[in-house]
Amino acid sequence: MAKAAKQKGELLFHKFKNIDKLGLFTETYQVPSYIKNNLKDTLRAYQEESLRYLHYAQHNPNANSLYKHLLFNMATGAGKTMVMAATILYMYKEYGYQNFIFFVHTDAIIQKTKENLLNGLSSKYLFNSSIEILGEKIHIEAVDTFPSIPNKNTIYLKLSTIHKIHDELNHYKENSVTYDDLKEIPLVLLGDEAHHFNAETKAKGKAKNSPENEELTWERTIDKLLALQPKNRLFEFTATINLDNKEIYQKYKDKIIYQYDLKQFMNDGYSKRVMLLEANQNDNDKMLDAVLLSQYRKLIAIDNNIAGFKPVVLFKSNQIATSKAKQEEFIQIIDSLTPEKITHYLANKRTQLISATSIWHKVIARYTKDDLITIIDMIKDDFNEMNLLNVNKTDLMEEQPVLLNTLEQIDNPIRAVFAVAKVNEGWDVLNLYDIVRISEKASSTKTNTDSEAQLIGRGARYFPFIYQDERSYTRRFDISNHDLSILEQLHYHTINEPSYIRVLHASLEQADIIAQSDGNGIIEHAKLKEKFKESNTYRYGKLYYNKVEEITGEKRSWQSYSLETHFEEEYKIVNETSLTALNDDDSSVLYKLESLQLNKRFFFKAMARQNFYTFNNLQHYFPKLTSMDEFISSNNYLGKIKIDIKLPQSLNIDNLTSKEKLNFLENVLSKIADNIRRNYRKYKGTYEFISQPLKDVITDYSLYIDPTIIVNQRITTESSTGKTWYVFDKMIVNQLEHRLIKLLDKFMSKLKVKYDDIYLIRNDEKSTRFKLTEFNGVRGFMPDFILLMKSKNDGAYYQVFLEPKGDDRLLVDKWKQDMLEVINPENIILLDADEDIRLIGIKFFADSQRDIFINDFTSKLYDGEPLEDTSLI
């Protein structure tokens, strides 16, 4: 993705983002329930933001002239097709569009898109099995030509390559679509991989029969289609657009409605981590390496009860003949495997390893301790000839697109794919974990490494495996030495040739791909201090946590789903000139809060628009519910919710239209429904606390620190020498946590006057799994620090929960602070305490509320007297 750093602030996207940030749009648009409820998967935050900006553009009264052509510039793997599916629903529902043309440059992507948007039986289908809007079923129908009289509740979708559309429109053929056919039909054009259609400058100086001039004719056809009607829309989608090209920049600066680059995508944790395995090996050894590493991943998944995990290997060659030959060699390698060969092979590899953090140390250790006969039998079964796929046949992508695009499915047996160049675009595989370059010399040309970077970007898509009954769509083990981190990494097996590696890294950097060479990370180990292990606190101490109880049907209630009762919605205004020039004075608009009072008619209408709010469905979640009227009126349900609207001083709640009030209510109901679905679990937290021996929970732990990736906050290591109260020999924590520890260090001289046996424990979530469960709710909470102290006055044993929190998380994690405030001797019941135990929760430690933390800490633990003499620097 091009940087275009100097021009960055001039893009339409950045203008919209600034206006949105200042609150200058007419309304606070939230993705409506008719979109969320009809999509199979939950929209991510950035996808919702992209749809919000689309709405702001289309809602503008001048949209026909200003915003009829827009482009979504989103990273490979970021879910552009999901945004496209949501856009179809939005344009149909809000503006009545029924005719959509999807076009792209290859048939392969057409086949994939059919699975995404038309095949309800496909695992790749993006909609729910039944699409409903306002209680009516909506059908999506594939067509070649659009009907002159469209059926009600029907969306018509024509999928074609751009060259086919160009031929249809410019060379008359019987039963094909023509410009005249389309003149009276409002159209939405959906252009995928749109960088192929930006040919205005590429064609200059080129021969008439050149690819650039062919693309130029496509571009003009698209422009002509768009111009047929003022209402026509063109929405383009691409991960790649060269904004460093002045002509392309000028064309698109007012059209790029959204940008989400690959670097941000990867840093946000939505991708695998990319690891480069550099080695000078022959092809057979590289292929065997990939098999052993791939099977190691599968074994780790089996160890952790992760069902249906099937890692795929891609063997990439530069010629079809080579690819076929290597496939035959691969079959021979697998057939000839024996325990003796593997043992000898791994012994040689061990002697070649230099880095102490290479993944091969874990792989070798695993194969050494296991029954190799059984493992080899598994490998031969998994990688047998029937489970290999060669995609180099000319007609394969047309004949077997489903096989290649459903590799994640349990009943798809493919473990290895042999390819030359057919899978670089339009391939949505999630469980590709190893890419191997075979029979390729160290090409130092930028073109070749750019192609490799593109392939790596596709392979880096995250596979959302289920672990401990939870499916995650982001990485969970970045800062852990946990074995499962291997399931969140893509390994690119390449050659170790300095000039090639330099060019490859340059291509990766240009493509915004964050890559790390295997073994370049650091593993830091935190060990319990011997003096602490000799203490009575460690030998006999306990850690207290709250019990959970099963939520049976009769006990399912508003509280058991951790549902809010107070909602605040915002009504925004817009300055008429805000889309072209920001006015500093607009940020000074004064607001007030007014309560939204609605009668039952609004509730019934809003609930009728959301599939979730049928009586049968509600009774599934609330078995005691007897009627819809009870759900609306009773204080056990919606009767106790309060909705406040943030209004400008010049506007009163009575000035709002019925539609505006209904939209606010729909937004609230959508949030409630999402939380009920999310929190439908079997156990809730109680106020009863039980204990377990401290030494069974707190152990040595290790963290893997990747120097190339910043996950939330940078993690650094400092020695704890001199801090006798810190139980580990090293403080391996992020910068906010370092600041908390330094503040506590300033408290220590005074705390030691009042308390003995003071110890601070870092609760490492990957090793201890020590957690609290929300009172009468289902959400889990693992406090980052536990402070233990014994009062000199009465011998009471204090267990204090401390939680550092970034300012950006204060609102979303407010429920955790609420829980901490409730934890005190008056509110909880200790079931197995044989001495005076006092459990205390302290408000968040955050940069923006440091004084609040200090005041809460001192009032609960030091009689409100000051604990520090100087302020924290």
Distances (CA, A) of 392 to 320, 384, 398, 414, 699: 6, 19, 12, 15, 52
In this structure, are 641 and 773 located in the same domain? no
Ordered alpha helix ranges (H), 561-624: 600-608, 615-621
In this structure, are 365 and 495 located in the same domain? yes
Of 411, 408, 388, 377, nearest to 295 (Cα)? 377
**459: three-class secondary structure by DSSP:** helix
Tokens representing 247?
């002509």
DSSP 758-789: EEEEE--TTTT---EE-BTS--EE--SEEEEE
Q: What pLDDT is attached to residue 46?
A: 92
What are the beta bridge partners of residue 467? 470
What are the beta bridge partners of residue 701? 526
Strands (E), 227-354: 233-238, 256-260, 273-278, 312-316
- β-bridge pairing 131-133 and 591-595: unpaired
Asked whether the beta carbons of 756 and 792 are under 8 A apart, the reply is yes
Q: Count the alpha carbons within 13 Å of 243 in the hemisphere toward its beta carbon.
A: 23
552: Cβ contacts below 8 Å, ≥ 6 apart: none
**867 is a domain residue:** no
Number of domains in the chain: 4
Orientation of helix 320-335 relative to helix 372-382, angle to 10°: 150
Q: How far is CA 328 from the centre of its chain?
A: 39
**597 is a domain residue:** yes
Distance separating alpha carbons of residues 726 and 582, to the nearest angstrom:
51
In this structure, are 460 and 561 located in the same domain? no
The single-letter DSSP state of residue 272 is P
Distances (CA, A) of 432 to 419, 533, 711: 13, 45, 23
Look at residues 678, 693, 718 and tell me which one is the last residue of a structural domain.
678
In this structure, are 43 and 174 located in the same domain? yes
- CATH number where 178 lies: 3.40.50.300
Tokens representing 544?
């207290």
- β-bridge pairing 730-734 and 715-719: antiparallel
**266 is a domain residue:** no
Distance separating alpha carbons of residues 548 and 502, to the nearest angstrom:
55
Asked whether the beta carbons of 820 and 803 are under 8 A apart, the reply is yes
Ordered alpha helix ranges (H), 689-843: 694-697, 735-754, 814-822
H helix and E strand count, the chain: 30, 33
**569: three-class secondary structure by DSSP:** strand
**308 is a domain residue:** yes
**871 is a domain residue:** no
In this structure, are 302 and 328 located in the same domain? yes
In this structure, are 663 and 712 located in the same domain? no
Q: Count the alpha carbons within 13 Å of 339 in the hemisphere toward its beta carbon.
A: 10
**422 is a domain residue:** yes
In this structure, are 560 and 542 located in the same domain? no
In this structure, are 350 and 472 located in the same domain? yes
Distance separating alpha carbons of residues 814 and 822, to the nearest angstrom:
13
Of 428, 458, 412, nearest to 116 (Cα)? 428
Look at residues 618, 649, 678 and tell me which one is the last residue of a structural domain.
678
Q: pTM higher than 0.85, yes or no? A: no
**793 is a domain residue:** yes
- β-bridge pairing 187-192 and 99-104: parallel
Asked whether the beta carbons of 256 and 73 are under 8 A apart, the reply is yes
Q: What pLDDT is attached to residue 7?
A: 45
Q: Count the alpha carbons within 13 Å of 354 in the hemisphere toward its beta carbon.
A: 6
Distance separating alpha carbons of residues 390 and 416, to the nearest angstrom:
9
Query: Each residue of 151-175: pLDDT tens digit?
Result: 999 999 999 988 888 888 877 666 6
Q: What pLDDT is attached to residue 135?
A: 79
Distance separating alpha carbons of residues 47 and 84, to the nearest angstrom:
10
Amino acid at residue number 290: A
Biggest CA-to-CA distance, the chain = 97
Look up the domain containing 48 and give its range.
5-260
Distance separating alpha carbons of residues 39 and 31, to the nearest angstrom:
12
**What count of residues does the chain have?**
873
Query: Each residue of 188-204: pLDDT tens digit?
Result: 999 887 666 665 444 44
In this structure, are 155 and 212 located in the same domain? yes
Distances (CA, A) of 779 to 223, 675, 676, 774: 52, 11, 12, 5
Per-10-residue mean pLDDT, the chain, length 873: 46 87 70 90 91 92 93 88 96 95 84 88 86 89 91 94 83 74 91 66 46 59 90 91 83 92 85 86 92 96 92 90 92 95 92 80 92 94 93 55 76 90 67 87 61 79 88 82 90 78 77 77 84 95 91 75 83 48 45 88 88 87 90 92 88 88 88 79 86 90 66 76 95 91 94 96 75 86 94 94 89 89 92 88 94 95 82 43
Q: What pLDDT is attached to residue 588?
A: 47
Distance separating alpha carbons of residues 205 and 700, to the nearest angstrom:
67
In this structure, are 674 and 725 located in the same domain? no
Q: 166 — phi, psi (to 5°)?
A: -60, -45
In this structure, are 674 and 690 located in the same domain? no
DSSP 354-372: --TT-HHHHHHHHHHHS-H
**866 is a domain residue:** no
Distance separating alpha carbons of residues 751 and 776, to the nearest angstrom:
34
Distance separating alpha carbons of residues 685 and 828, to the nearest angstrom:
12
522: Cβ contacts below 8 Å, ≥ 6 apart: 357, 704, 705, 707
In this structure, are 123 and 217 located in the same domain? yes
Distances (CA, A) of 794 to 790, 797, 827, 837: 9, 9, 21, 11
Look at residues 643, 678, 713 and tell me which one is the last residue of a structural domain.
678
650: Cβ contacts below 8 Å, ≥ 6 apart: none
Of 126, 122, 103, 98, nearest to 41 (Cα)? 126
Asked whether the beta carbons of 541 and 694 are under 8 A apart, the reply is yes
